[in-house]
Structure 1
Amino acid sequence: MAQPSNLEYTELSDRARKALEGVIPSNAKVDELLKKFEHVQPRTPDKDGDTETIIGVGFTHRITTAPGDYEVVKWHYVTAGSPTDETIVFLHGIPDSWYQWHYQMAKLSPSYFCVSVDLKGYGQSEKEAGNYQHEGVAEQLFVMLQQIGLKKFNLVTHDRGTVQADFIVAKHPEVVLRYGRGEQHLYHFNPAIAPQGPVFRDAPWTGLMEDPKRFVLWVYTFVAGSFPPDDVLSRVIQEFSYEGVGRAVPRYFNSSTFRQEWLCRRERLLDAWKCPVMILEGRESRSQPREFYENSREYITNAKDVKVKYISGGHFWTLESMQETTDAIVELLKM
């Protein structure tokens, strides 16, 4: 018979505990920000093959279906660069989309084939009912990546995308060349750094995600170290505004908890990672205290190599410190 886990939470340092003071943003603060972005309107959904230019680089939108949920799952992903080059697959977090990695894709695409996916439930990917356990979705995602011809690839991830990537790296070690693992609990955990879990779980009843503009600004106020440029944050809002996102995303938080994810890593996943791993964390991240990652080599014992890289900024360093994030990925690609 199953028994409760005896793994113990890690105590927070004084620095990390102080950083959490007043972490939940007030309505008044979000209301003030809303005035700045009241002009932002939803985007027209993309069609397969649509293109756009960002930072002088061409991006192509792709729509495909792959096996999943007893039928097929719809996926939206965006590419930049040549398919003949080595591939980097990017996975985003909440409340983001493929666009979270647009800067890194633009800068790396002259040498790498960059593929950024909208996770199931986000952006323009599938939002119908189905399996929203991260392990199940990760396998659906992996099948899609194989179907579009990505037989081997580097994996660079952030936040919720990292949860799914952890399973791909563990279950398909022959496919992942290198793993840039961003902004997610690893070996250590304490519930005090994840107060958003129950809040996101209850979103269908509280309406927290019904107003995408308010929700995006709430989350960025909650854990960002600094806000990205206004035009970038406007696009983040648009990407969370596609119909159905606010109803689909909470399914993840009703299918698992941060504690369950942590237990799974400790009991199943960490020992299964074989490729070189770079742990990427925001130096001032309030949700991921940097003290928790300093000895990561000790926890990922079977990986070919393990490095830890702290990037300037809070939780959203991909958009807060765009070039520094790109430089870290370049370093990963040399491991």
Structure 2
Amino acid sequence: MDVKDLQYSELPPRAQHVLENFFPDQEAIKARQEHFRDVGPRDADSEGDVEILDGVEFTHHFVDAPGDHETVRFHYVEAGDPANESILFLHGIPDSWYQWHHQMAALASEYHCVAFDLKGYGQSEKSPGDYRHQAAAEQLVAALDLIGLETFNLVTHDRGSVQGDYIAADHSDRVLRYGRGEQHLYHFNPVLAPQADLFAEAPFTGLMNDPVEFTVFVYTWIATHDLPDDEMRRVIQEYSYPGINRAVPRYFNSSTFRQEWIERRLRLIPAWTCPVMILEGYDSKTQPREFYEHARDYIPNAKDVAVRYIQAGHFWSMERPDEVTALLRELLAMPA
């Protein structure tokens, strides 16, 4: 297949209706932003710091991997015994490793759970450099080499799925199973991705300058259930570390959603060989569930393909944590 043969997918009628009220009421956004206006930055972690979440110990680590300006410093958090089978979690925007803390806590008694802050996010590197997702994914793999994570189950969300797609394709011998969520797969229509232009222009418009305003805007827009206040506060804090507002837009100025979709269709999807579970919010505004109904047809070389919907919007790992954990257990039971 050639690029010229790729066609945007027609929107299902339900998705067309969703687009009529795509963005939430501005007054509702402002009221929620004011509710969290007092949230301030969180102190940065140090190597070996431990915190307790859901009754489980989480340990903070840092690793300097080869990359831009000689090294790229990644922040990651782990829970569970490193001797057990590993799960690597990758987050989306505007999140961090914390997006997966409920699932990590629930699975830590059986698995070695590791969650990274992607480059540009959280407490990871934010210096200028190569922010193409393929390059960032390779730098992340270099970090995995340094910490000794040879094989792993891969669980991703949103922008983390873009990098996960490269890891599953280019390092297929290392990925045991791939749980992939909230990112365009085979079907794509640019009207569902207005955030691409919004985020690319963020350095000029100041869209990301206020972490409270930006984080609450995104969560109010595409979540269908409000998070508990303490969790929403932590999400805001994780997006408040200095430099995030400058670093994250670099991704959106290094590529486009169309370019990602072309690479996915022509090269990445056919290279996935492990079992794959597609995870999507049943009420996701930007990822119509109808686009994933026949995913087996589009992932021809995977050992197995399953599609599962969560009764939530875009941020289902936080909106419906127990439901997501149950689905991850189903993924982990798929023969590798």
| 2:149 is the alignment partner of 1:150 | yes
Deviations 1:49-100 (A, max 9, x none): 0010011110000011010115000000000001011000000000000000
1:294-305 mapped onto 2 (5 Å cutoff) = 294-305=293-304
Contact 2:82 2:112 in 1 (8 A): yes
Query: Which residue number corresponds to residue 263 of structure 1?
Result: 262
- Alpha-carbon offset, residue 26 of structure 1: 4.5
Query: Which residue number corresponds to residue 118 of structure 2?
Result: 119
- Looking at structure 2, the residues matched to 96 and 194 of structure 1 have their Cα atoms a distance apart, in angstroms, of 18
1:1-335 mapped onto 2 (5 Å cutoff) = 5-335=4-334
Which amino acid in structure 2 is aligned with residue 95 of structure 1?
Answer: P
Deviations 1:126-149 (A, max 9, x none): 000000000000000011112100
After the TM superposition, which of the residue ranges 113-122 and 7-16 deviates more from structure 2?
7-16
Contact 2:63 2:146 in 1 (8 A): no
Secondary structure at 1:249 match in 2? helix
- Looking at structure 2, the residues matched to 193 and 290 of structure 1 have their Cα atoms a distance apart, in angstroms, of 13
- Looking at structure 1, the residues matched to 24 and 4 of structure 2 have their Cα atoms a distance apart, in angstroms, of 33
- Looking at structure 2, the residues matched to 100 and 287 of structure 1 have their Cα atoms a distance apart, in angstroms, of 19
Which amino acid in structure 2 is aligned with residue 310 of structure 1?
Answer: Y
- Looking at structure 2, the residues matched to 29 and 230 of structure 1 have their Cα atoms a distance apart, in angstroms, of 16
- Alpha-carbon offset, residue 239 of structure 1: 0.1
TM-score, normalised to structure 1's length?
0.98
Which amino acid in structure 1 is aligned with residue 87 of structure 2?
Answer: I
- Alpha-carbon offset, residue 29 of structure 1: 2.5
- Looking at structure 1, the residues matched to 220 and 18 of structure 2 have their Cα atoms a distance apart, in angstroms, of 14
* Number of residue pairs the alignment of both structures matches: 333
- Alpha-carbon offset, residue 194 of structure 1: 0.6
- Looking at structure 1, the residues matched to 270 and 198 of structure 2 have their Cα atoms a distance apart, in angstroms, of 31
- Looking at structure 2, the residues matched to 22 and 31 of structure 1 have their Cα atoms a distance apart, in angstroms, of 17
Secondary structure at 1:310 match in 2? strand
- Alpha-carbon offset, residue 180 of structure 1: 0.2
- Looking at structure 2, the residues matched to 68 and 221 of structure 1 have their Cα atoms a distance apart, in angstroms, of 35
Q: Which sections of structure 1, spanning at least 5 residues, go unmatched?
A: none
Which amino acid in structure 2 is aligned with residue 307 of structure 1?
Answer: A
Deviations 1:279-321 (A, max 9, x none): 0000010100000000000000000000001011010111110
**Structure 1 residue ranges (4+ consecutive) displaced by more than 4 angstroms after TM superposition:** none
- Looking at structure 2, the residues matched to 246 and 37 of structure 1 have their Cα atoms a distance apart, in angstroms, of 19
- Looking at structure 2, the residues matched to 227 and 15 of structure 1 have their Cα atoms a distance apart, in angstroms, of 23
Which amino acid in structure 2 is aligned with residue 91 of structure 1?
Answer: L
Contact 2:272 2:299 in 1 (8 A): yes
Which amino acid in structure 1 is aligned with residue 186 of structure 2?
Answer: Y
- Alpha-carbon offset, residue 34 of structure 1: 1.5
- Looking at structure 1, the residues matched to 20 and 325 of structure 2 have their Cα atoms a distance apart, in angstroms, of 31
After the TM superposition, which of the residue ranges 14-23 and 72-81 deviates more from structure 2?
14-23
- Looking at structure 1, the residues matched to 248 and 21 of structure 2 have their Cα atoms a distance apart, in angstroms, of 25
Which amino acid in structure 1 is aligned with residue 132 of structure 2?
Answer: Q
TM-score, normalised to structure 2's length?
0.97
Identity over aligned residues, as a percent? 59
